[in-house]
Amino acid sequence: MSNYRVGDELAPMVAGEVTRELITAYSQVSMDPNPMHTDEELAKAMGYPTVYAQGMLGMAMLARHLGQVAGMGKLHRIKCRFKTMTWPGETITCRAKVTAVEEKDGKQLVTVEIHTENQDGEPKVLGEAVFAV
């Protein structure tokens, strides 16, 4: 049995700096064709200060965080909303807070509110996830 209780904050994970190289690499491996992540001139022409990171890159970081916390293969569900853009040079931390703990089919299911934030604590990707203990 675990000691998860509603209101607990799980140990955060510093995912690190989101560099242009990381954004470009993520576009390649995720088959994301959107040039706003890779084409600096186009991003500026569209009114953005520079290229921005994929929302899914933030979601991948959140999923990795939960894998570290709960272990491989324990994730039942993850849902994310891409609230604001993540910019090159920002350092991202993943956070999770327990909102529900329930028993189901002999397993304990933990629901967490999750988000990524930059070095100033500004939230970027928000969501909810459920993992088994």
Partner 1 sequence: MPKRELIGKETEATTVTINPESNKAFAKVVGELDPLYHDEAAARAAGYANVLAPPTYPIAFMAESMNPELFFELELNLPSIVHGEQEFLYFQPIVTGVELTMKGRIADMWEKTGRSGTLDFVVMEAEASDQQGKPVYTSRITLISKRASE
Q: Which residues here bind partner 1, judged by CB under 8 A? A: 15-16, 22, 25-26, 28-31, 55-57, 59-61, 63-64, 67, 72-73, 75-82
Q: CB nearer to partner 1: give 5 or 88.
A: 88
Distance CA 97, CA 120 (A): 19
Residue 45 C-beta: closest distance to partner 1, Å: 13
The CA-to-CA distance between both ends of the chain, in Å, stands at 8
Q: What burial letters (b/e) apply to 80-107, b meaning 16+ CB within 10 Å?
A: bebeebbbbebebbbbbebeebeeeeee
Q: CB nearer to partner 1: give 51 or 63.
A: 63
Q: CB nearer to partner 1: give 5 or 105.
A: 105
Q: What is the crossing angle of helices 55-70 and 20-29, to 10°?
A: 90
Residue 124 C-beta: closest distance to partner 1, Å: 14
Residue 35 is given by DSSP the state G
Q: CB nearer to partner 1: give 7 or 106.
A: 106
Residue 132 C-beta: closest distance to partner 1, Å: 10
How far from the centroid of its chain's Cα atoms is residue 68's Cα? 13
Residue 73 C-beta: closest distance to partner 1, Å: 5
Residue 18 C-beta: closest distance to partner 1, Å: 12
Q: CB nearer to partner 1: give 25 or 100.
A: 25
CB 116 within 8 A of CB 92: yes
